[in-house]
Amino acid sequence: MKNFFISDIDNITPGKEVHVKGWAQDIRLMKNIAFIIVRDSTGLVQATVKRDCPDFHKLETLSRESVVEITGTVPEKVQSNIGREILVTSVELINMAEVPLPIGITDNVETDMDTRFNSRFLDLRKPEIGRIFQAKSAILWGIRNFLMSQGFTEVQTPKTVSAATEGGAELFHVKYFEKNIFLNQSPQLYKEMLVASGVERVFEVGPAFRAEEHNTPRHLNEFTSIDIEMGFADHHDAMHMLENAIAKGISNFLENVRDASSFSVVKEKPVTPFPRVSYLECIKILKGEGYPAVHGEDLNNEALKIIGKKFDGFYFITDWPTSVRPFYTALLDNNPEYTKSYDLQFREIEITSGAQRVHNPAELKRRIEDKGLDSDDFEFYLRTFKYGMPPHAGWGLGLERLVQVILGLPNIREASLFPRDRNRVFP
């Protein structure tokens, strides 16, 4: 096993021998001297090879991106602008890379997205691409640690299901032996059922599937959903949990990923609480700006752009109309035309949806039917409300959307290792 990494060279006393294993990113061969730039997951080093090195001849056939093991010593005075150098005593070729490479790793040529994603394993070797996933990991772990600190239990729920939660049009149908079933759009019903099971604070990080017809820079057909549900809580409690989770995700990223703020749009831990604006206030803002907003309808991209200009960064839009929210959303106590719901936005982009839920089984059944759904399909879910279901609230946060806005990525596909869209189910 490799247990010495290129960044460890920084702590080595000059003159000491080191073994470096990695990829030969670049090879410059001259008459009496050669330079190999070796890369591993922690950084780069220049390997300086003199002609009197017995392995000098091997460099004539060494191809870029081959896997090598280099042995050498760390010089007193580093003569490379990379900031790390070893003076090579031996070069071992572990595995040769074919020539030519399908895409360049360091070349300054713009490669289109399709070509990049066809060879994603190579695309990911580019440091500027690889670090997106270091950021994603750090953001997720910040959120996960925060939820654990708040007494949440992480769970895994089925992705092959027989009932839709977020709207029938966006379902992937799957043949499951003799039955026709769906890929789950959200763990919504399961997380609520787990609250009924006595797991008072529950969360899941897992795939969610949406058969979105359109290719947009904000939609994937498979994304990572971070879902929470809390018993004995309302929508205000859930919003509070969300803003703190987001702040922890961002601070974990800024504190633990090298040069984080140099490639991130969000450069500081956001100030909490985030601003809250109600749906009705949004309609007023839109009308004030001369935008023809229709009261009771969802806010489209154009409308959200106008609202987003009023807030710098994260903010909540609360109290959405009943007509535009799913059946499980609780209604406002004093006005059943509106719900105890919210979206978290970053400028014009929606990051999270959440709400307090209906906990009365008769009301829930009615709400399912009001949406034109067959309540028999939801019997497994409705049952859990009949034997002691506390009031509860939660949210679903799209991890790739969150990474997209924090890093300012132009397309959500950049935040997915192997994106799935209308045309791509490969690799």
Q: Which residues bind ligand AMO (CB under 6 A)?
A: 166, 186, 188, 210, 212, 219-220, 223, 225, 227, 350-355, 394-396, 398, 400-401, 412
Q: Which is nearer to ligand AMO, 46 or 184 (CB)?
A: 184
First and final C-alpha spacing in the chain: 28
User: Which residue's CB atom is positioned nearest to ligand AMO?
Assistant: 398
57 vs 411: CA distance, rounded Å: 45
Q: Has 401 been annotated as catalytic?
A: yes
Q: Residue 278 CA to chain centroid, in angstroms?
A: 27
51 is catalytic: no
- From 66, 186, 264, 353, active-site residue: 353
Least distance in angstroms from the C-beta of 207 to ligand AMO = 11
Beta bridge partners of 161: 182
Instruction: Give the residue with the Cβ less far from ligand AMO, 200 or 212.
Output: 212
* Omega within 30 of 0 (cis) for the link into 100: yes
Considering the candidates 69, 200, 281, 350, report the single residue annotated as catalytic: 350
- Is 350 an annotated catalytic residue? yes
- The CA R_g of the chain, rounded to the nearest whole Å, is 26
Answer yes or no: 218 catalytic. Answer: yes
Amino acid, single-letter form, for residue 316: F
Q: Which of 212, 236, 278, 420 is catalytic?
A: 212
Q: Which of 401, 413, 414, 416 is catalytic?
A: 401
| Contacts of 287 by beta carbon, 8 Å cutoff, 6+ apart | 293
Choose the catalytic residue: 201, 210, 235, 392.
210
CB of 331 to ligand AMO, least distance (A): 15
Cβ neighbourhood burial of 354 (10 Å; 0-12, 13-18, 19+) = buried
Please report how close the Cβ of residue 35 comes to ligand AMO at its closest, in angstroms. Answer: 43
Known active-site residue 210: yes
Q: What are phi and psi of 94, to 5 degrees?
A: -90, -40
For residue 403, the minimal CB distance to ligand AMO (Å) is: 11
Q: Which residues pair with 85 in a beta bridge?
A: 46
Closest separation in Å from C-beta 353 to ligand AMO: 3
Residue 399 DSSP symbol: H
Q: Which residues are catalytic?
A: 210, 212, 218-219, 350, 353, 401
